A and B are shown apart, each in its own frame.
Chain A
Amino acid sequence: AQKITQTQPGMFVQEKEAVTLDCTYDTSDQSYGLFWYKQPSSGEMIFLIYQGSYDEQNATEGRYSLNFQKARKSANLVISASQLGDSAMYFCAMREARRMDSNYQLIWGAGTKLIIKP
């Protein structure tokens, strides 16, 4: 079963509009962390934002915010006032506490390709 599901393979959005990228996850852990990364065409993965499962408030980092709905197991990324430079692949990832001893467990979604139109 997919642990991280990103249902939108691709999205087109008009510049300056807000955009929401979907991410749902599956875990039986109570303690986990959720990440969003951006991958421009240059290839490098860039960390955007983190949300802990016990964080009471939704994470925000500049134009990025995370719409965290724990009961629904969703962690959607919201980009406000999109810019041409936001065109990239976006990946959602999860780390589960019960796998911390293995020290590596970031589980990745398939990604969403976002294209911002001028």
Chain B
Amino acid sequence: DVKVTQSSRYLVKRTGEKVFLECVQDMDHENMFWYRQDPGLGLRLIYFSYDVKMKEKGDIPEGYSVSREKKERFSLILESASTNQTSMYLCASSRGTGGRLNTEAFFGQGTRLTVV
């Protein structure tokens, strides 16, 4: 059974803390993604990676950074957490699209982060 695993389901952090959200996939996928999900806004892409040590900014990268040292692991880092980063964070992975439009993404269970 394919799996994307996020390290925490729920997290509460204080303003100004450095926060690490971890994501691991066991499907040998090239691509990994971090999304933020807020009510009424759908999913917004923060960062993605198409290979080890490679990263690309998504639509809302400000206040975030990422790390991909190994193919199976993609970390999202909040350098100095703020209350407006309270949200649900979803990690996903997929094969390289290789010209295929129908490549689906597989998601983790999400991390609900509250910054107080």
Contact = CB atoms under 8 A, between A and B. Distances in A.
Contacts of A42: 109
A81 interface: no
Contacts of A6: 42
A111 B102 CA distance: 20
A6 B108 CA distance: 23
Interface stretch (B12-20, B60-68, B75-83, B90-98): B90-98
B97 A111 contact: no
Interface residues of A, number: 29
A109 B42 CA distance: 5
B101 A52 contact: yes
Main secondary structure of the interface of A (DSSP, over half): mixed
Given A43-B88, A43-B110, A45-B92, A100 B101 contact: yes
A110 B109 contact: no
A104 B42 contact: no
Contacts of A52: 101-102
Interface of B: 9, 31, 33, 40-45, 48, 50, 56, 58, 88, 90, 92, 96-97, 99, 101-110, 112
- The 7 closest A-B CB pairs, nearest first, are A33-B101, A43-B110, A45-B107, A108-B42, A108-B43, A110-B42, A104-B48
Given A4-B42, A109-B42, 18 more contacts: A33-B102, A43-B112, A44-B110, A47-B104, A47-B105, A50-B102, A91-B42, A95-B97, A95-B101, A100-B99, A103-B96, A104-B31, A104-B48, A104-B50, A106-B105, A108-B44, A110-B42, A111-B42
